[in-house]
Amino acid sequence: MNINSPIPITVIYILFVWELIWKGFALWKSARDSQRNWFIVFVLPINTVGLLEIAFLFFFAKKKMKPADLMFWKKLKS
């Protein structure tokens, strides 16, 4: 491990978790909506820090996601 790295290792871990969460949402949504091409794009090892996945979920998916959909804990109380 290089100690003189310009990016702290904790930032890298946070970005990894951020990417993993959004990639999971995008893979689940594209598989559920039978959007095979998008699913293949998300399986490829491309790191976009979640930007491609967020763009898909909110703009390109058949059933677009809304910010209120991310607040799942409010739906659990009902």
pLDDT in tens, 17-52: 988 888 888 888 888 888 888 888 888 887 788 888
Distance between CA atoms of residues 76 and 78, nearest Å? 6
Which one-letter amino acid corresponds to residue 18? W
The number of beta carbons lying within 10 Å of the beta carbon of residue 61 is: 17
Task: Answer yes or no: is pLDDT of 77 > 80.
Answer: no
Q: pTM of the full predicted structure?
A: 0.69
Q: Which one, of 54, 56, 63, lies nearest residue 39 by Cα?
A: 56
